Structure 1
């Protein structure tokens, strides 16, 4: 039965956390893209509606009731655009927060991997020295046996 190195366990946990953070970052970015797309769509709709109002006023004219309705709708639409802009800003902040968390988790994983690699390198060096010592002792014994003969 192999005893698992605690450092490997910590690295595996850090790797799992990084994977979860990566998924969260993808989700946050997707929400941001959707919020930006919706904001742009609302802005286009507002521009089109203002254009429609200008054309209606310049063309055959509009009744006062239609003019008031158009203007009040544009005011309401501007409020929706502003609210959506706030949603975009909140989404950008969320992406930035998850991104910072991802960077920290990646650094932590890299630290564990570095420690594991250093430990493996130190163990390999120690093993190499033991083997060299055994080879030196063997060579010395062979040399001593030859001298006796």
Structure 2
């Protein structure tokens, strides 16, 4: 393996960025799941409240009580719209976070490729150097053997 150099330092920094992006991606996934769960709870609660309202209405209710039920349903609808918006934002944030992580991962892979190529070049140079040394040694032995024979 090659000695540490700027390329290794950059690769390490890119790896750190990728790990940070992965942690952030996990956090964003948690926020998205939380937003979805809250929306599902609000929607379920609205459905149950609407059924309760219909059951009470079937037995008869005053206009004031009907108005109270309607107002509360309106506030639930408003909360559902807000939570839907929050979920959409959480999904957009998650997509952006995933994109950041993917870009960082590609960067790490690029540095790994560059390092592997540099290592391969270095190994090739070392192999040529060793071959040249061996060739020189073999030639010297051949010369020495030839001079001894003469």
Report if TM-score (shorter chain) is over 0.5.
yes
The structure 1 segments of at least 4 consecutive aligned residues displaced by more than 2 Å after TM superposition are none
Unpaired stretches in structure 1, ≥5 consecutive residues: none
Coordinate RMSD, CA, aligned: 1.0
- Residues 9-42 of structure 1 show CA distances to partners (whole Å, capped at 9, x for unaligned) of 1111111111111111111110000000000000
Distance 1:146 1:5 in 2: 45
Distance 1:10 1:100 in 2: 20
Aligned residue for 1:99?
A: 98
Aligned residue for 1:18?
A: 18
**Residue 119 (structure 1) shift:** 0.4
TM-score normalized with structure 2 length: 0.94
Q: How does 1:12-91 map to 2 (within 5 A)?
A: 12-58=12-58, 60-91=59-90
Aligned residues: 146
Aligned residue for 1:114?
A: 113
Distance 1:8 1:141 in 2: 40
TM-score normalized with structure 1 length: 0.94
